[in-house]
A and B are shown apart, each in its own frame.
Chain A
Amino acid sequence: SSWWSHVEMGPPDPILGVTEAYKRDTNSKKMNLGVGAYRDDNGKPYVLNCVRKAEAMIASKKMDKEYLPIGGLADFTRASAELALGENSEAFKSGRYVTVQGISGTGSLRIGANFLQRFFKASRDVYLPKPSWGNHTPIFRDAGMQLQAYRYYDPKTCSLDFSGAMDDISKIPEKSIILLHACAHNPTGVDPRQEQWKELAATVKKRNLLVYFDMAYQGFASGDINRDAWAVRYFIEQGINIVLSQSFAKNMGLYGERAGAFTVICSDADEAKRVESQLKILIRPMYSNPPVNGARIASMILNTPDLRKEW
């Protein structure tokens, strides 16, 4: 007899399972419109030229393979924060933030979810837009949080149900957590306009909600880094101390290298240090310290002016 006789067969992953089914299909006309990875006009994966250049530069430096710090590669985390917040951001310049390297978007979301579970005692409720990325729900659930929803997509118009969203959000119990997609909402592709973001910010502030931004497509959405980060930066300027998850899977094509970051905007640099210490305590029993390769590539690109321009 086995210890595992009662273990049920898990269902295939809804998103990644589509690709697996596509791969099994033998029909010559098949096409995969499932998983979120960029394809060129020939339907092929695309390795960015600046990524290849960065890789060559890294290889020539002959660096060692010593463990990264638990919080990740400092040049990477600092550059990630600056990319999201903007170089002129008061929060960035004053150092009242902490950014830790995460395992791409998923890993960063999970670190944040675990952090909230442990340190955000006001509420267990995380409000997701309806619909949201399928993996948001199990991530927060596995972290010990509860999921709620606010209206977002209007299937009748295939656009934003702004009045529905505002109605729901204005009724969210104070000090709950609300998750917002910074740009290129997944799966709908429907984003609020800037005036709508302003109203959302005001409502969220009034309800005293903790804002969790998921930004997986900065630059990839509009082609403009600053435009895609506008909502994140606006909220912070309004005095909302957000938490933020970033992914470099799509905008740098670094999918399998797992480059991401989790940021907490704090009251001051001292608070940021204390938050950082707790994030490290969460990360260590998960995987000790993060993988270097994707972070080195992203850091090389972000911190080398020519490469950054090319990117």
Chain B
Amino acid sequence: AYRTDEGQPWVLPVVKKVEQMIANDNSLNHEYLPILGLPEFRANASRIALGDDSPAIKEKRVGSVQSLGGTGALRIGAEFLRRWYNGNNNTATPVYVSAPSWENHNSVFMDAGFKDIRTYHYWDAAKRGLDLQGLLNDMEHAPESSIFILHACAHNPTGTDPTPEQWKQIAAVMKRRSLFPFFDSAYQGFASGSLDKDAWAVRYFVSEGFELFCAQSFSKNFGLYNERVGNLTVVGKDTDNVQRVLSQMEKIVRTTWSNPPSQGARIVATTLSSPQLFDEWKGNVKTMADRVLLMRSELRSRLEALGTPGTWNHITEQIGMFSFTGLNPKQVEYMVKEKHIYLMASGRINMCGLTTKNLDYVAKSIHEAVTKIQ
């Protein structure tokens, strides 16, 4: 979760404003939303992902399912795929998750009924970057129709994304081998500060004619974590296919949560459909992204100034909330036990936890860990 420079949670100013507007609107009530969610939210959410000028939207072959956060969107997509993809109820279709990935990806697809969940090469620990060859090789050898979970931007936990050129190579292999792209987009705008830049990969795949799913979360970029605002964007070949897909997703939603919560969706819909509020939101998002970028460059420069062994350019080359520092489990243990700095055993740190006040301490602690422990 994002933190301010005071180490505090941050409710976006635009969110506060819109919540006040909602509170003052006496025409609003707490009635059930439709099963697929608030229509104004769904359309705007998918538009944000695919772009105002998206050919898929123009051609009316985009569907949307309002979901309980990004997790809920992933789960509805997974449940649908298990029932209707690659035959009927084909639980044997391989699902590929990046190595490493967000741990919950595995559980989502497993609980949806998939029996064969595999990893694809992603993180190269030695060079601290993307193992593109390993990734492409896995795709070449994956059975046709395999499902691949792709992080749209700000890969969790490594912070390492393919470049546009690399995405093009990935798309080419996936097209040739008939692999299904399921994007997880949890950080649009939050990663680079630009909504369009962070959506480049998803939009490229759409322009290449793929049918795909994109699970969107508004937890981070709207700071609406506990309101559970997410959207599953479905891009299909044509309107008719998308309609039928949505009708079946409706059945899945009905037995999972019946209809989604209204508060968060109202906030997002109101914001995205007003040009002024939309601009304000983009400004708030850039505030968060910029602070993270600042913390990255500040941490890196301190480590380099200290002469901490190793190279530290990956801190600024990685993107998003997380950094894979490269600290090994023993060094992590040192950080936790001796320095009381809590991070994941994988060496992943949340950049949002850094502030101008704790940067020095963190840098010195990493320096100690790396020099004292091998």
Contact = CB atoms under 8 A, between A and B. Distances in A.
The answer to whether A and B interact is: yes
The CB with the most chain B CB atoms within 10 A, among A56, A141, A143, A289, is that of A289
Contacts of A13: 35, 250-251, 254
Interface string B248-261: 10111011111111
B72 A5 contact: no
Contacts of A6: 84, 88
A3 B254 contact: no
Contacts of A253: 30
Nearest to A1: B237
Contact of B257 (A8, A65, A110): A110
B263 A107 contact: no
A294 B30 CA distance: 9
Contact of A257 (B11, B75, B110, B262): B262
A289 B70 CA distance: 11
A223 to B, nearest CB: 21
A254 B30 contact: yes
Contacts of B71: 284-288
A256 to B, nearest CB: 4
Interface string A253-287: 11111100000000000000000000001101111
Interface in B87-127: 88, 104, 107-108, 110-111
Interface string A48-90: 0001000110010010111110000000000000000000000
Contact of B248 (A8, A55, A67, A107): A8
Nearest to A138: B255
Contacts of A289: 69, 226, 228
A103 interface: yes
A8 B244 contact: yes
Nearest to B79: A142
B255 A256 contact: no
Nearest to B38: A256
Contacts of B250: 10, 13
B82 to A, nearest CB: 11
Interface in A1-31: 1-10, 13, 16, 20
A7 B85 CA distance: 9
B29 A45 contact: yes
B35 A65 contact: no
Nearest to B111: A285
Contact of A2 (B110, B236, B264): B236
Nearest to B105: A285
A37 B258 contact: no
Contacts of B31: 37, 45, 255-256
A293 B261 contact: yes
A112 to B, nearest CB: 13
B196 interface: no
B211 interface: yes
Nearest to A254: B30
Contacts of A68: 226
A116 to B, nearest CB: 15
B95 to A, nearest CB: 13
B224 interface: yes
B33 interface: yes
A256 B33 contact: yes
B257 A104 contact: yes
A283 to B, nearest CB: 10
Given A2-B236, A287-B69, A288-B71, A65 B258 contact: no
A257 B261 contact: yes
Contacts of A288: 68-69, 71-72, 104, 228
B11 A293 contact: no
B245 A7 contact: yes
B166 interface: no
Interface in B132-167: none
B110 to A, nearest CB: 7
A292 interface: yes
B238 interface: yes
Contact of A138 (B85, B251, B257): B251
Contact of B30 (A7, A51, A135): A51
A299 interface: no
B19 interface: yes
B5 to A, nearest CB: 16
B247 interface: yes
Contacts of B243: 9
B256 A65 contact: no
Contact of A107 (B1, B237, B258): B258
The CB with the most chain B CB atoms within 10 A, among A7, A35, A46, A293, is that of A7
Interface in A138-152: 138-139, 141-143
A59 B107 CA distance: 36
A95 B259 CA distance: 32
B226 A110 contact: no
The CB with the most chain B CB atoms within 10 A, among A5, A62, A142, A256, is that of A256
B79 to A, nearest CB: 8
Given A4-B211, A289-B228, A257 B30 contact: yes
B347 interface: no
Contacts of A141: 255
B23 A55 contact: yes
A291 B264 contact: yes
Nearest to A5: B241
A257 B263 contact: yes
A3 B180 contact: yes
Contacts of B84: 4, 6-7
A4 B244 CA distance: 8
Interface of A: 1-10, 13, 16, 20, 35, 37, 45-47, 51, 55-56, 59, 62, 64-68, 103-107, 110, 135, 138-139, 141-143, 249, 253-258, 281-282, 284-294
18 contacts: A1-B237, A2-B236, A2-B237, A3-B85, A9-B244, A10-B250, A45-B29, A59-B19, A65-B225, A66-B1, A106-B254, A107-B256, A135-B258, A138-B254, A256-B30, A256-B33, A287-B71, A289-B226
